[in-house]
Amino acid sequence: MLKFLIEKEFKQIVRNTFLPKIIIMMPVMMMLVLPWAANQEVKDVRLSIVDNDHSVYSERLVNKIIAGGYFKLTDVSASNPEAMRSIESGKADIILEIQDEFDKSLINEGVARVMISANSVNSTKGGLGSSYLSAILADYATELREEGGQAVVTAVEVPSFGVMPQYKFNPHLDYKVFMVPALMVTLLTMLCGFLPALNIVGEKEAGTIEQINVTPVKKLVFVLAKLIPYWVIGFAVLTVAIGLGALVYGIYPVGNLLTIFLFATIYILVVSGMGLVISNYSDTMQQAMFVMFFFMMILLLMSGLFTPTTSMPEWAKTITVFNPLKYFIQVMRLVYLKGSTFFEMIPQFLALCGFALALNTWAVVSYRKSQ
Amino acid sequence: MEDKAIYTENLTKRFGNFTAVDQISFEVEKGEIFGFLGANGAGKTTAMRMLCGLSHPTSGKGNVAGFDIAREPEKVKQNIGYMSQKFSLYEDLKVWENLRLFGGIYGMKSKEIAVKTDEVLQELELERERETLVKSLPLGWKQKLSFSVSIFHEPKVVFLDEPTGGVDPVTRRQFWELIYQAAERGITVFVTTHYMDEAEYCNRVSIMVDGKIEALDTPKNLRQQFEVSTMDDVFQQLARRATRKAD
């Protein structure tokens, strides 16, 4: 019986005008486009300079800043209000104002002041931009000091000791290494959670589920027949995604590939269960889509995909405990970057098993073949 | 009572305060074509859904193909066929694939299905459409195919919920020929319809008004009883008594 139903599902998926395309496009988009886009490195900060000094020293500072590559000089303004206008009109992100007699105070007093004003509407850009700029200023001061003077150029206090960080597991702080494994999680969520759920609701809308309900097909069999094709697709797509990650970015899991697949199996059960619960409570595709969209936003933003869950407020941290995405994203990053073994990830394993059990029990209980 | 295809005793379905089906009792013989008539909202579909095991009765008893509808709905399902009001074959599957799917669901073997598929398509004169997707068939053909799917596994009883809705008179005629053929093979046919000429084709007819069965007999006897010349007049007289609004 199951055989005939699975056969039917595959035929329907292949004949669908939309599904095969999305099944191919999704991993391609996720793996080839998103790692570049979901990147929090700040580059090309647009800088407006107000140089009140016009000396050799100030010019050298400006050249140094431009040479760093992080900043793009948009304009040199005559006064601070004028520079503010270019921020307001969106032409610049940061103003660097160099005080009058910058060179003189540098030579005579050994200290000169500059002012950094950053547009912090995008707080990441504003914050990182001004700290890059401070770093360049500090560097410039060191340069001058080495040349003999006791000059200090400062916007903030200059640390008196040098820090040489050694970044473990992701030595180049490449954001893609961090994102690629996590994006695979969202891929599985969509393919194995949401697509089969939409498929079931689609049968409700078409009325064909009624025809199945009068047959002796057991609900477990019907649901399995819906899920198995997407499980197969999910594993195939995950394999393709891992391959793309290796080919395009040279990102391989440091840990065992089998560990990834083991966790993926449990995770697929979790999201399938979640999708089934949603499909049981939805009568139309539209309804199901809205519910999924609502949950997807929360699940993604509270999963640690973009921002670490540990730096969230206490109440938000409590919510993330109930987010299965969080655990699988952790697992993927741990295996990919640190090479963690199964035994180091028992807590995540137990959490995911708990979700799988709870969601699937809920799905079975809430599914009704008759009223 | 075990030798009846269907029998019910005070079968009732309530939704909150609303009694959709109110203590209906009737019997259907094996191989009979039983017409189940009633205005919209009279409770026909609800009664039929209970008999098919889709809806649980609030009270009363029902037995279909020898199984209790409340206690053994899955066994009932194994022994019935059902064709719903809403056309419900898989539109994105081919003609033969629909037959194969439903045959498989009822536990038929692949070979058995292949042989039976040839037979059915020949009977329906649809051999040339074997590879056609169901969605591109004309409505009349779809209805005939849908009926053939519902009796593909040779059920004891087949339930047809307004099977000829929206179909032209010629196709309706052909459709009823299929029903007669099925009945001759011993399949009990339980059919709802709004066409009173079709009621004349049934062996016996029941008419539901406001959730109750108000009349049950052969079409001929009903016409005599109500002293009118057509089933349409019988229906009009009874339907006028309804206090419930049509849905």
- ipTM value, please give it: 0.86
Cβ–Cβ of B105/A216 closer than 8 Å? yes
Residues of A in contact with B106 (CB under 8 A): 215-216
- Whether A216 sits inside 8 A of B92 (CB atoms) is no
Q: Which of A1, A15, A214 lies nearest to residue B107, judging by beta carbons?
A: A1
B-contacting residues of A 150-209, CB under 8 Å?
A: 206-208
Average pLDDT over all residues of chain A: 85
**Three-state DSSP class for residue A90:** coil
**Interface contact B55-A213, CB threshold 8 A:** no
pLDDT above 90: residue A63: no
| Three-state secondary-structure class, residue A118 | strand
Q: Name residues whose C-beta falls within 8 Å of residue A359's C-beta, 6 or more positions apart in sequence.
A: A270, A273, A274, A276, A277
- B-interface mutation test, from A2, A3, A4, most B Cβ less than 10 A away: A4
Interface of B with A (CB under 8 A): 52-56, 73-74, 77-78, 80, 82, 84, 86-93, 97, 100-107, 133, 159
Contact state of A371 with B54 under an 8 Å Cβ cutoff:
yes
Tell me if B89 and A208 make a contact (CB, 8 A cut-off).
yes
Mean per-residue pLDDT, A231-259: 92
Name the residue among A1, A7, A214 with its Cβ closest to that of B82. A214
Given B77, B86, B105, which is nearest A4 (Cβ)?
B105
pLDDT at site B51 = 94
The average pLDDT across A141-165 equals: 63
- Residues of chain B with Cβ-Cβ distance to A216 below 8 Å are 74, 77-78, 105-107
**Distance (Å) from the alpha carbon of A183 to chain B's nearest alpha carbon:** 33
β partners of residue B37: B207
Contact B101 A4 (CB under 8 A): yes
- How many other C-beta atoms lie within 10 A of the C-beta of residue B95? 27
pLDDT at A159 > cutoff 60: no
Query: Alpha-carbon distance B34 to B28, whole Å?
Result: 7
Q: Report angle CA B54, B57, B58 to the nearest 5 degrees.
A: 140
How many interchain CB pairs under 8 A, A with B? 73
Q: pLDDT category, A127, cuts 50, 70, 90?
A: confident
Q: Which of A122-131, A347-356, B68-77, B186-195 has the lowest mean pLDDT?
A: A122-131
Instruction: Say what the pLDDT of residue B195 is.
Output: 86
Task: Give the least confident one: A59-63, A306-310, A365-369.
Answer: A365-369
Q: How far is CA A343 from CA A168, A323, A350, in A?
A: 21, 21, 11
**DSSP per-residue string spanning B190-226:** EEE-S-HHHHHHSSEEEEEETTEEEEEE-HHHHHHHH
Q: Which has more confidence, A45 or A277? A: A277
All residues of chain B having their beta carbon less than 8 Å from the beta carbon of residue A11 are 92-93, 97
Look up residue A335 and give its DSSP letter.
I
In the predicted structure, residue A172 carries a pLDDT above the cut 70: no
Residue B207 in contact with residue B181, Cβ under 8 Å?
no
* Minimal C-alpha gap between B234 and chain A (Å): 33
Residue type for A11, please? K
pLDDT at A174 over 80: no
How is residue A286 written in tokens? 């539209």
Q: Are B61 and B8 in contact (CB under 8 A)?
A: yes
Please give, rounded to a whole number of angstroms, the shortest distance from the CA of A11 to a CA of chain B.
7
Using a CB-CB distance cutoff of 8 angstroms, which residues of chain B are in contact with residue A371?
54-56
Q: How far apart are the first and last CA of chain A?
A: 24
Distance CA B122, CA A309 (A): 65
Q: Are A187 and A26 in contact (CB under 8 A)?
A: yes
**Which residue from B minimizes the CA distance to A213?**
B54
Domains of chain A: which residue ranges? 45-154, 171-366
Q: How far is B245 from chain A (nearest CA, A)?
A: 24
Question: In a structure prediction context, what are the per-residue pLDDT tens digits for chain B, which is 247 residues long?
Answer: 568 899 999 999 999 899 999 999 999 999 999 999 988 888 898 999 999 988 899 999 999 999 999 999 989 999 999 998 776 799 999 999 999 999 999 999 999 999 999 999 999 989 999 999 999 999 888 989 999 999 999 999 999 998 888 888 888 999 999 999 999 999 999 999 888 888 999 999 999 989 999 999 999 999 999 898 888 888 888 888 777 765 5
B77 neighbourhood in chain A, CB within 8 Å: 214-216
Single pTM value for the model: 0.79
For residues B115 and A338, give the distance between their C-alpha atoms in angstroms, rounded to a whole number: 60
Q: Cβ contact (<8 Å) for B82 and A12?
A: no
Mean of the pLDDT values across residues A350-366? 92
Angle formed by the axes of helices A56-67 and A123-146, to 10°? Answer: 130
- Can you state the angle between helices B95-105 and B139-150, rounded to 10 degrees? 20
Looking at residue B50, its pLDDT comes to 93
Question: What is the nearest CA distance from B196 to chain A, expressed in angstroms?
Answer: 26
CATH of domain A45-154: 3.40.1710.10
Q: What are the residues facing B212 on neighbouring strands? A: B209
Which of B55, B88, B133 lies at the smallest CB-CB distance from A211?
B88
Q: Which of B52, B90, B134, B136 has the highest number of chain A CBs within 10 A, making it the mutation to test binding with A?
A: B90
Q: Would you call B86 and A210 a contact, using CB atoms and an 8 Å cutoff?
A: yes
Q: Which ranges in A43-194 belong to alpha helices (H)?
A: 56-67, 80-88, 102-108, 123-146, 175-188
The answer, yes or no, to whether residue A325 has pLDDT greater than 80, is yes
Cα distance between residue A83 and residue A124, in whole Å: 21
The pLDDT of residue A232: 93
pLDDT score recorded for residue B183:
94
Q: Which residue of A has its CA nearest to B159?
A: A214
Q: Which of residues 9-48 of A touch B (CB under 8 A)?
A: 11-12, 15-16
